[in-house]
Amino acid sequence: MNSSLCFLLAAKRAELTELQRLAQSIALARSTAALVHELQRERGLSNLSVLQASLGQAPLEAQLQQQTQGTDQWVEQWLLESAALINAPSPHAAQLLSRVAYALQGLDALALLRSRVAAKALGTHSLSADYARLIASLLAVVFEAADRASAPELLRPLVALFNLMQGKEWAGQERAAGAALFASAQVQAHEQAHLIDLIEAQQRCLEVFESFASAALLQFWQERQRLQPLGERSRLRRLLLQAPAGGALEPTQSGAWFACCSQCMDEMRPVEDQLTQFLVDQAGACMALVAAEIEQLEQRQSGNWGAGGGLGSDTQRGSGFFDAASAAPPTLQSAPTGLAGGLEKSVLDLVQEQGQRLQAAAAEIETLRASLNERKLIERAKGLLMAHQQLDEPAAHKTLRELAMNQNKRMVDVAEAVLSMSHLLAPRR
Amino acid sequence: MNSSLCFLLAAKRAELTELQRLAQSIALARSTAALVHELQRERGLSNLSVLQASLGQAPLEAQLQQQTQGTDQWVEQWLLESAALINAPSPHAAQLLSRVAYALQGLDALALLRSRVAAKALGTHSLSADYARLIASLLAVVFEAADRASAPELLRPLVALFNLMQGKEWAGQERAAGAALFASAQVQAHEQAHLIDLIEAQQRCLEVFESFASAALLQFWQERQRLQPLGERSRLRRLLLQAPAGGALEPTQSGAWFACCSQCMDEMRPVEDQLTQFLVDQAGACMALVAAEIEQLEQRQSGNWGAGGGLGSDTQRGSGFFDAASAAPPTLQSAPTGLAGGLEKSVLDLVQEQGQRLQAAAAEIETLRASLNERKLIERAKGLLMAHQQLDEPAAHKTLRELAMNQNKRMVDVAEAVLSMSHLLAPRR
């Protein structure tokens, strides 16, 4: 019996270790959200500066310099948080660490990007694409943290967080694309199509966010939405989208568009903040619960050993294992109470409860993960296209997007179709 | 750049740690296969002994005693292997440890089961059910080891192993049910239905096994199948299944049935053995490969530091990150060579290759896991029925089986239907 108790304890300790790792990922996700926000502001100011210069206005050098300093503070913080992952690498962490390594390459290249912007060597299109690539590498870290979360009570808010951040990033790309379109003074059909893509992607992400957010967070989100200039943004979106191809746009609207998009994004930031704070608290609460359960089991173990009676009589030992079939088993609804009252329960009861609780958690996680799969399918289809067609990532993305537009399907449906043909698309030798 | 290299190294080390844990699970799976075989023989002999006594023949006490000693040797071995898991618990291991804890409860109860058999306190039906419950708790350990495997080259043979073991266990239950039916001298419709279930489950498992086995193993399996008395088994199966309900059966056929079923199972054992040996070798090879990659990265890291040049000039640093978009990216087919030639490659190349390799592995694992999902769906549906209807496990299984028979559907389809109604079946308060 004691030896089952040892394994039960080891299982609980493994759970605690996993929660500690997850708490580290959550701390990193919190810093990532802050850093991405700063990078989005920096991209916005850089863009605006280039646009204003093109309209003959003074560039925003002082503001931009202040912003890069703000960004750099969060880069430092992010480097600290990510270093903590190295010191305690855990199995299953290979993918997260590999994402961090890639994001670091991006942050390493930030100085170069800034110097190119300062030298006016980049147009708004390349500039936006480079920042988007860097931000995508950071978002992938949050995605990975969510993908490996083993506790449903933490996976749920992590999925909400990733989708809020991704939705906000689509909003940032919409801001850049719309501002450039206004500034170009002329409507272009493919730019309109790109804007529609970004708006739809944004809406899908925010829908997922809303369906995964807690009631309290949802209320906070709705309050902040009232502060967003959504009416103004709709009006300007109509100007951009409803004009016929080749029609004229008023370049000075670029500033108004930029300001209202920025305000929308800024109002999303406190929601991210509240969500990441909730995640940190929730992770702490989960760890405390498991730690208390471990303590209870340890007491029971030492109690058993102290009592000396130890093994019990042979006719009694293990009778529960086979007789349990005839008694009512521990039901799932008793599981949430955890090991409370554990001292009165038999080890067999504890083992069965633990098994059922873990199984229920695994099942819930599998269901929750379905929402992460859409992104994975698209990433995988892109990988296949890159390998087979020798495309780079943006070109593979564009191919999928055009396939989707031509067939009037969603990206994820096209991705599934591509993957289903993978045997035809095997890498060329 | 160095710092990306640190994360790459940490990712590789995490991969190695995970492989080491997996190698432990594989060692445990190997002992489990051997132990289950002994328990199946013990169940067979116990059953035969009870049946022979009921036919007025001498029970097989000496043989049975010899067998229990053989079983006990493997129990010892299994306890040793499982203890190794406790000493190095890893995150994500909670479920595996919890399964081991449950199996230990079963092994703990084995002495009680044997004493009941010796006291003739159990009929063949209860005796078979008790052994089946114990064996199921051990099979769950192998299933869990497969479910958490993060390397596709190990997951594939683990899925094959689990299905081979599960198929053999269904064969063992068919042996017991058929022997009891012959001995009862009279055909019973519900026993016939039970036999058909067992035969179908067996075939499904062996089909999955065959589709996941390597070419070499498949050949070995086909050779061993030629040694199985499949013709004799078919003939006896027809006697059991084609007789009308209520018709007479010849009790003395029980022995012939038993012998030919036993021989079929014994011929499966060397295949299990070859497969587990392959798994052990494959795990060793995977670990050696990753260890060599780690060594290469470590050399590169110390080389970089030694060269002193360190950070490089600012205009060069990170240019690859943004420019990669215009160059052809590292393609998936270059991934299998791993980090060979890593010294000539840039850190960015290494980071991207590692990311793509991990992503490809994760995608392959997800596909492979689909074959494990059938079992999970059935287990989850059973859990739901147990919680809602206050059923025990065998009753929940029977409910699902009857639903499937009545609707002429597969168990897994019925399980999916049950789960899709889970909101209606929420646990009663």
Q: How far apart (Å, rounded) are the C-alpha atoms in residues A283 and A281?
A: 5
Q: Phi and psi (nearest 5°) for B186?
A: -145, 135
**What separation in angstroms does the CA of A73 have from each of A32, A101, B228?**
12, 19, 72
List per-residue pLDDT tens for chain B, 429 residues long.
458 888 989 999 989 988 998 999 999 999 999 999 999 999 999 998 888 887 777 778 889 999 999 999 999 999 999 988 887 656 568 889 999 999 999 999 999 999 999 888 888 889 999 999 999 999 999 999 888 888 889 999 999 999 999 999 999 999 999 999 998 888 888 889 889 989 988 998 999 999 899 999 999 999 999 988 899 999 999 999 998 888 899 988 988 999 999 999 999 999 999 999 999 999 999 999 999 999 999 988 887 544 433 344 434 566 678 875 443 333 333 333 333 444 457 888 888 888 888 878 887 887 787 777 777 888 888 888 887 777 777 778 888 888 888 888 888 888 887 776 665 554 443
The tokens of A94 are what? Answer: 């290979």
Q: At what angle do helices B124-147 and B2-54 cross, to 10 degrees?
A: 170
- B248 DSSP β-pair partners: B186
The tokens of B361 are what? Answer: 């592995």
Looking at chain A, the whole-number percentage of residues with pLDDT higher than 70 is 87
Contact B128, B176 (CB under 8 A): yes
pLDDT tens digits, residue range A382-424? 888 887 777 777 778 888 888 888 888 888 888 887 776 665 5
Q: Which amino acid is at B285?
A: A
The H-assigned helical ranges of B55-93 are: 61-87
The tokens of A26 are what? Answer: 């959550």
pLDDT tens digits, residue range A238-297? 999 998 888 899 988 988 999 999 999 999 999 999 999 999 999 999 999 999 999 999
What lies within 8 Å, CB to CB, of A313 at 6+ separation is none
Question: Residue B43's pLDDT is what?
Answer: 95
Three-state DSSP class for residue A246: coil
Question: Residue B155's pLDDT is what?
Answer: 92
Hey, of A1, A82, A96, A104, which one would you mutate to test binding to chain B, going by the most B CBs within 10 A of its CB? A104
In chain A, CATH 1.10.10.10 covers 362-429
pLDDT tens digits, residue range A62-74? 899 999 999 999 9
CATH number for domain A362-429, candidates 1.10.357.10, 1.10.10.10, 2.40.70.10, 3.40.50.720: 1.10.10.10
Q: At what angle do helices A2-54 and A347-389 cross, to 10 degrees?
A: 30
**Interface list for A 112-151 with B (CB within 8 A):** 112-113, 115, 129-130, 133-134, 150
Q: Quick one: three-class SS letters along A283-310? A: HHHHHHHHHHHHHHHHHHHHHHHHHCCC
Q: Which has more pLDDT, B302 or A223?
A: A223
The H-assigned helical ranges of A55-151 are: 61-87, 94-108, 110-118, 124-147
The nearest CA of chain B is from the CA of A114 a distance in Å of: 10
pLDDT tens digits, residue range A324-365? 544 333 333 333 333 344 445 788 888 888 888 887 888 788
Minimum Cα–Cα distance from A348: chain B residue:
B105
Q: Residue B134 class from Cβ within 10 Å (0-12 exposed, 13-18 middle, 19+ buried)?
A: buried
The secondary structure element, H or E, covering residue A380 is helix A347-389
The tokens of B299 are what? Answer: 């050399």
Minimum Cα–Cα distance from B318: chain A residue:
A109
Count of H helices and E strands in chain B?
14, 0
Q: Which of B13, B101, B393 sits opposite A11 (nearest CB)?
A: B101
In chain B, CATH 1.10.10.10 covers 346-429
To the question of domain B346-429 being in CATH 3.40.50.720, the answer is: no
Is the per-residue pLDDT at A229 higher than 80?
Answer: yes
ipTM of the modeled complex: 0.78
Cβ pairs A/B, distance under 8 A: 286
Instruction: Tell me if A86 and B317 make a contact (CB, 8 A cut-off).
Output: no
Instruction: Tell me if A358 and B98 make a contact (CB, 8 A cut-off).
Output: yes
Question: Residue A427's pLDDT is what?
Answer: 46
Q: How far apart (Å, rounded) are the C-alpha atoms in residues B186 and B34?
A: 35
**Tokens 């270093």 correspond to what residue?**
A83
Q: How far apart (Å, rounded) are the C-alpha atoms in residues B132 and B82?
A: 21
Minimum Cα–Cα distance from A397: chain B residue:
B325
